[in-house]
Structure 1
């Protein structure tokens, strides 16, 4: 379907700056959130359904969005999680034979408001210069004063707890119950492809809500523990931080990704901070300091852990660093079976350079299981 006329729309940033565009699908609408951008050239459906993007207005830097449609198998959660979409060219038609629908039809199911025909190069350049901030996208172009007033009421991402908005409300299972290993996963915004990567390594996973206690997880008698990615500020996640502390104290195998990485750092007394722009894309360069090898990684985070505090912490070792800005991209807890990374080794979308981290996790689990069996 191709629309001959397009309704006028705008992007109003918190500092009062305005960019103009047109409503996708000629729909009226308004959406609020923190504006951010992703530099990936593909994988838009996975990005839109990634729980880590909850509450954010996504600017797609690729010039064409929707050109290969949507496939029901290429989702990272059950629904679209972004607050709104901003793009240059939105393709109502698609050319991929195995697509199940157009992207427009897919987004309509989640009632997502989107705008196109935006000068995304100028918008991204502005965000890079002035930092991530709240914004509103709307077709109410003649009522800017009201939009400004409503936007001023939107809370900052800093200090905002969002894991409870995307986490499961009840525990559930994933994988083959006859698998060799049992993994207890704390869901603070988990992606489906993380579960796939755990399951294909002969694991049966029980996924717990964001506020589950260590006692809850331990009662299942798992062989290893996992803390997932997710949205928002990590510091308000007091239950998850306490759970991580107890897992570490009991010397259990523990792996954390993205928000889980930040929770593990906080459990070790290292603070986090909101980044000026954040890292969102599938081409971020990371150096593995333990092997000397470089990795091209998929990243999606607006917070990071304090490097100076990490370096000064006697219990932590920095294992990976981001080559663009030297932020901490990975840590390991000394004399413990615990490590985490600030990027996505499951890379959906993205490269698979860091896939080995899942194998590293299962090596720790296997060694621990064998050690316990001998004892």
Structure 2
């Protein structure tokens, strides 16, 4: 069946419908990863967005449900050049077409994703519609596209109740802002007992549990929308509990301590982004998925200083908090892009907690 991708600037792409045949309006973004499409689909940080995969062939190794980063996929839509319908992998359990249909995610294949990506890079991220309806005029469509906002999507993706991954080691409180499973897994594999809290949990409840450390997860949307969460994170900052934050958690900690964030032109989404450790000069290959960044000009050095920067565009990729056992990163050390380039950050967090506990 014929399908259309309509952008808010009036560009129209014609392709073939994949997945669910329903109309959807969303923010259109692109991801440059060559593999890991299931991890992309099940990353809660994509809630409120439709994802364009720049790699031309998607789905060739099928779907392995064990690799899902959450219980379900989160993007509103999926956009590819070519969808492989005959997967070849000994671990494959399903096709990506069936997966999209099962979770009612509409998509479009057969379009020039290279041209679409160039538009998004030159004009910036914009809203769009995936539809099987052939509109005679865009006059009724474009106002709807321009009016769309992702809204408060953290509330949509967070867990509904507290859960515990039992272990005998250090106790970590993980605030689920849209956490990928591998964050909790990375801590659990290092011996930690991980208690996962819903995003709306009060700081007092977390502090009362006397964790050895606090983890602030990744998540979707504009960080400035999370006003009530920012207030609670400020309370966590004021304790002496070691804190490690990733992606949205990194941005929210910055906002909670007086810094500012801004929207990037087209964001960083992919598994091949180089980041530089400003202390050692060492460069790591990182996995990233974010459309906002911390404004380093707004930082008070008495509160926090830059710790990492993006090699491509110089934007901030991490902060070290002055006089605190707190460090935060914009990228995903749990995502294995290097494949283990930055997983040492979890070991650093473990060490920080041990030193604090034994002090």
When the two structures are superposed, what TM-score results if normalisation uses the length of structure 1? 0.92
Which sections of structure 2, spanning at least 5 residues, go unmatched?
Answer: none
In structure 2, the CA distance between the partners of 1:15 and 1:113, relative to structure 1 (3 Å rule), is same
Structure 2 counterpart of 1:101: 94
Structure 2 counterpart of 1:270: 259
| 1:343-362 mapped onto 2 (5 Å cutoff) | 343-347=331-335, 351-362=339-350
Distance 1:144 1:67 in 2: 37
Structure 2 counterpart of 1:363: 351
Distance 2:144 2:223 in 1: 26
Asked if 1:315 is matched to 2:303, the reply is yes
Asked if 1:150 is matched to 2:144, the reply is yes
Distance 1:235 1:229 in 2: 14
Which sections of structure 1, spanning at least 5 residues, go unmatched?
Answer: 1-6
Asked if 1:17 is matched to 2:5, the reply is no
Which one of 206, 223, 227 corresponds to residue 234 of structure 1? 223
Structure 2 counterpart of 1:167: 158
Distance 2:235 2:146 in 1: 39
Q: How far did residue 180 of structure 1 move? A: 1.1
Is the 1:173–1:204 Cα contact (8 Å) retained in structure 2?
yes
Q: How far did residue 107 of structure 1 move? A: 1.7
Instruction: Report the 3-state secondary structure (helix = DSSP H, G, I; strand = E; otherwise coil) of the residue aligned with 2:29.
Output: strand
Stretch moving more, 229-238 or 116-125: 229-238
In structure 2, the CA distance between the partners of 1:143 and 1:351, relative to structure 1 (3 Å rule), is farther
RMSD across aligned positions (CA): 1.4
Is the 1:43–1:349 Cα contact (8 Å) retained in structure 2?
no
Distance 1:305 1:134 in 2: 23
Is the 1:287–1:295 Cα contact (8 Å) retained in structure 2?
yes
Is the 2:172–2:213 Cα contact (8 Å) retained in structure 1?
yes
Distance 1:253 1:72 in 2: 34
Which one of 116, 129, 140 corresponds to residue 122 of structure 2? 129
| 1:1-375 mapped onto 2 (5 Å cutoff) | 7-24=1-18, 28-145=21-138, 146-155=140-149, 157=150, 160-174=151-165, 177-310=166-299, 312-347=300-335, 351-371=339-359
Instruction: Report the 3-state secondary structure (helix = DSSP H, G, I; strand = E; otherwise coil) of the residue aligned with 2:235.
Output: helix
Q: How far did residue 92 of structure 1 move? A: 1.1
Q: How far did residue 265 of structure 1 move? A: 0.6
